[in-house]
Amino acid sequence: MPQKDTYERVLDVVLLATLLLSGGTLVYSIYSPAQVGSFTPIAGTSFTLCLLILVYMRSNPDTIRAQQSDTILRIASQTLECLQNGVTIESAQRICRLLLPATSARAVAITDREHILGYSGDQEISNPGGSPIRTKATHATLKDGKTRVLSTPEAIGFPSSVKNLRAGIIVPLRRGEAIVGTLKLYFRRARNINETQLALAEGLGELLSTQIAAVELDQQVKLATAMELRALQSQINPHFLFNTINTIASLTRTDPDRARVLLREFAVFYRRTLEDAQDMIELDREMDQTQRYFAFELARFGGDRLNLQVEVEPGLEDFLVPAFLIQPLVENAVKHAMPDQGMLHIVVRAESDGDDAIISVSDDGVGMEPEQSRKLEQSPESRGTGIAMKNITERLRVFFGTESYMEVSSRIGEGTVVRLVLKGMLNDG
């Protein structure tokens, strides 16, 4: 933008010079038409064109608005990326460095309610992140939420030794109704602040405010989903704990070696369950935890009742997924799909389909009515199997976007297939 402004200033000078030259030629032709001769039509045409261009540049609001919109759109995605972890000193500093070239300001600053978070431009060394806010005008904007245009060095509040920052604009940053900080643009002098710069400053302030609110909402959704995951673990674990301990206890008499192995694996399983409350883990690790869980169920029900097959397409082993994503689906199959007699076969498969990653858990168990499978897929209940499916659905959307989804298909007496479709997760981006 400063480069663009420089071009516009050069164009202004060229147009004004041409106006003066052609205007002078026209005036001179009145008194000495013989000497000017054929240059008179050229001078008249140049004078008219230059005048029209200058008037258009000064009076066309659509052009100004288009330039502002283009500037804001260009930096929107860059600033949003900076804010993914919230407003911090590091993210605010990056944003200030992005915004400075988009304005004609000499410096750009972002504050919270008490401190300077980011500062880029003239006097940057004197205004590090974490420094307290000094200007009364900034505190006033934080209090009343009004945009302020500062046109004197006294209002700016810099030391008298600073000669090149003598005017500024202060725009409030909001999160809903709350004022959480300010965006400040500093200029060399008051005449550098025009309607374009003021509108641009306010537009950037609105952009940042919207992005701050959106990022915080996203963080709240992730937190709520993680808390629900904890609740899900707490709900399932006591039943699973009771059954597994009983199984290991019985094996201590009939097969002590196997009991020791299962007890050791049980300790690893629970430690991993607690550790894997982190956001994302490798698919291989989630598959290992699922197979570890299945080993306890196999010990409980016997090899003549349960079988698990895991198939991971080569190259997907390190693909990141939310922890505790697949094991609840296998657990649901063991709990609800096992027939009264015979073996339940469960297949867990991870594969690619173009840019999509697809993870499926299928069984050949008792199945369910179409209405029941639709409820699990679209509007999970808040208890039992429902909370597990609901949690998985929400985490798919949080971590992989709203286009990713879970689908459930089932037939009575034939089994159930749960597919997790992760849209666009395997592209080069």
Residues 51, 68 share a domain: no
Residues 71, 26 share a domain: no
Q: What is the pLDDT of residue 239?
A: 59
pLDDT digit string, tens, across residues 174-193: 877 788 899 999 998 888 88
Would you say residue 29 lies in a domain?
yes
Comparing C-alpha atoms, which of 115, 134, 122, 141 is closest to residue 192? 122
Residues 284, 211 share a domain: no
Residues 217, 95 share a domain: yes
| Confidence label for 394 from pLDDT (cuts 50, 70 and 90) | confident
Would you say residue 200 lies in a domain?
yes
CA distances, 376 to each of 236, 381, 390, 414 (Å) = 18, 7, 8, 18
Q: What is the pLDDT of residue 315?
A: 92
| 378-362-281 Cα angle (round to 5) | 80
Burial degree of 6 (CB within 10 A; 0-12, 13-18, 19+): exposed
Please say which residue of 36, 59, 82 terminates a domain: 59
Q: 400: domain range?
A: 276-422
Residues 290, 146 share a domain: no
Q: How far apart are CA 37 and CA 32, in angstroms?
A: 9
pLDDT digit string, tens, across residues 154-164: 888 777 778 78
CA distances, 331 to each of 8, 165, 420 (Å) = 67, 65, 16
Least confident of 22-26, 206-210, 300-304: 22-26
Would you say residue 240 lies in a domain?
no
User: Over the chain, what is the mean pLDDT?
Assistant: 77
Would you say residue 267 lies in a domain?
no
Range with the largest mean pLDDT of 105-119, 214-228, 258-272:
105-119
Nearby residues of 252 by Cβ (< 8 Å), 6 or more positions away: 259
Residues 188, 314 share a domain: no
How many domains is the chain built from? 3
State the DSSP code for 84: G
pLDDT digit string, tens, across residues 349-365: 999 999 899 999 999 99
Would you say residue 47 lies in a domain?
yes
| Token pair of 38 as six digits | 């054929």
DSSP-assigned states of every residue in 362-385: EE-S----HHHHHHHHHS--SSTH
pLDDT at 295 over 80: yes
Residues above pLDDT 90, as percent of the chain: 26
Residues 92, 55 share a domain: no
Cα dihedral 352, 355, 359, 363 sign: negative
